Every structure is written in C-alpha cells, then in structure tokens.
Structure 1
Amino acid sequence: MWWICSFLLSVIHIAFDMQDILKHYRSPRAEDYADILSFFATSYLLGISIRGITGIGYSDNGLADPLLNNTAQKHPEGKRESPYGNATLLQLITFSWMNPLFAVGIKKPLDQHEVPDLDIKDSASFLSNAFDDNLNHVRESDNTINPSINKALFLFIRRKAAINAIFAVICAAASYVGPYLIDDFVKFLGGKKDHRIESGYLLAVAFLSAKTIEVITQRQWIFGARQLGLRD
C-alpha cells in the first residue's frame, strides 16, 4: 500500500507539471525532472513489492515461526566474536553492525550458533569482575569491612551513565529546534517576510539536521539504557 500510494503521488505530480508546462508554455525546471526521476523510482519499487521478490512472507504461519530454530545443533566449541566490539564509529551510530545477523535471519530461522555472543564488556564475567574491583576500591578508600554497595554501584556505572545523559540532553535539545523554527518556516512559506530562497533552504537543512541528530541520539540513549540495565 505504501508503494502504491507513492506511485500514485508521483503520477499526480507529473500530471500537474505537464499541465503547468503546457498552460504557460515554459521549459521544464529542475523540480519537473526530479518528479520524473521519482516516478521511475516508485514504479520500480512498486514492481518489486508486487512481484514479491524480496522474499519476505506475509502468511500467519511465517509470522508465528520462532526466531531461533529449535532443531539447531549444539553450540559449537568456541565463541563467535561480537560484531559490536569491532564496530566502527559509523557502524555504531547506524547500528549497521547488526546487518550480518539480519541478512541471515531474513532468509531462515536463526540457529543458536548463528547468534553472536555478547561483547566482552557486556558479559557477566567481565561485569562481575569490574564490580568487584569497584567494591574493593570503596572498601580500601573508606577503610571499612562492609563497603557501601550504592557507592560501588555509582562508581561502576558513572561513566556509562554520564555518556547516556549527554545523549539524552542532546536529544531533548534537538527536539526543540523544530518548534523553535516552525514560526519562521510558516512565515517564509506564506511570504510574510522578505526572505531569499537561500533562507528557505537553510530552514529545511536545519529541520533535517535537527531531526537526524534527534533520532541518532535517541537510539543511542535507549541502547545505552539497556546496557546500563545489564550493569545494574
């Protein structure tokens, strides 16, 4: 339904463009060529969605299948290295380090040995040892036999919590950019202010940049909260 609506919208745009060109006897502009390219793109994607060559099924049986194959063989010796630990900055931002797992999961139910292990820094053994180190640090600094669990826990998660708080602040700040600029955007579209076309482009870029930053930081904030949950 999405690609059908997109295709019909492209057809309507081209129809209005052709009507305007024939009515005013003008040459096609860049917007007209963009609509034509959009028409070809939506036509191609509509054809793919109709033919169903993506391999994605929509039957109830397919949706009810388990994510892991119950008939999977015993987990082989050795561990699969987590792609999260070796991910680049761009892969961490876009979560593209999960693409290999998605590529397998879209074709068939996942076997147990196909799911990578947790990153070493999120494993129970690493977190347990790290918390013991913080607990011993509190015991030595306070010179007490019974150290404060709350203080050790604070030292244990303070760095991750601070980074997560920064993401939360940036996400909240970016979410206010749209409402802050909406008045100028409405005035620009209504012609109430004498703005040049460059001002409109700057407003559009500001809206897009703010929303992109908001989405990225929000995803990182939520993911970081899950990691903090493992540490707690």
Structure 2
Amino acid sequence: MRGTTISVLLVDDQPLLLQGFAMILSVEDDLEVVGQVGDGQGAVEAVARLRPDVVLMDVQMPVLDGIEATRRIVAEHPDVRVVVLTTFDRDDYLFDALEAGASGFLLKNADPDELVAAVRDVAHGHALLAPEVTRRVIARSVAAAGTAPAGGEGETGTEHIPEPLPGLTQREREMLRMVARGMSNGEIAAEAFVTEATVKTHVSNILAKLGVRDRVQAVVAAYEAGLVCPGD
C-alpha cells in the first residue's frame, strides 16, 4: 500500500457502475481510485502499469472476461488482491473466481459499507466472501473432499468422539465457529466482547495452527472436523 492509502483499480464494462463505485470509494480518506477500465485485457495492462493494491473485477466483459483476467493478474502480480463483483449469484462464477486466485467475491447489490470493508479487508491480506455464499463454498469443498465430518458416521453404541481441532484453544474454536457463520471481525468483536485487534490475532493464530491460507480454508477445515455443521 502507498503509505496508509489503499489504491484501487475498477474494472467493469458499464460506465455508470464504474462511476458509482468510484463515488463510493473516493469519499473514504484511506482509499484512492487510481484507474477505471472496461474489459479484462485492459485490467491486465492497467495492473502492470499502476500496480494497485486492490482490483474490483466484473465477470462478464468483452475482450477478456473477469475470471481469466483475475488468473493472469494473480499469476503475474501475486501481491495484487482481486475482489470479483457480479450481479450473477452463480456457483460457477464463485468457484471459478476463487480458483483463479481472487481474494474475495461480492454481489453488486452489496451495501456500500460492505464494498468499502471488502476493499480494506483484502488489502490487509484477508480473504473475503459475502456471507450468503460462504456456506456454498463449504458445502462444495467438503463434498469435493469426500470427507464426512468428524463424529458424523461411525459405529453404533457408545464411542469416544474426540474434541474437534484439538490444536486450537477453546477460545479459538469459538472464534472459528463465528467465522464459519460469515461474521466479520467487527461482528465477532461485538459478540465476544473483545477488540477487533484481538479478533485479528485469534484468526491469524487459527490460520497458522491449521496450516491454511485464509478464512475460507479455515472454515472448510472446521466443517470437515465437525466443529460446525450445515445449519449451525
């Protein structure tokens, strides 16, 4: 980041949306919109030239779509974070974006505050998913792994069910359950009666102990271990 300012590149083939996103972000003292382009190829070229901290990327665009543009940007500039924005709430876009290396995925109907928070979160190295799609990521990831949650299937009768993720402290397991519910650091802090800095420390420790890259992978691990279950 340039000092304390987060630089942002906007990518969308609809000029009105570009202007709207620019207005939302530009009023924030710590955010700076450094460029606006209308297709994926332009995004790849603009990132090479401008080296923004964060790219807000549309999916369906001419010349080069947002998924392929994300893949190229992340491969060539791994320090640049990409948040995919789309009006299409579709699983294929979601998973393709994450597999391409996107750090976040939000629907375009997200509140302005969510958009601003997303830019800040990914700029500081946090993976982000809109709460409404988090559970779909987990369900697909667990299914792909072919793993039954711990304590799910087993022998009948009395059996000892080990505590899930024993490497975590009780407090860390509580934090991970809240992360799995799609809660932000601020929401977790309010519910747990701690500061956001404390939550960030707990989340960092969880990622390190589980040996995972981001919050999404941590939640997958929580589901696979049976710490949380669908519907919790």
Which range, TM-score by smaller chain?
under 0.3
- Give 1 or 2 for the bigger CA radius of gyration: 1
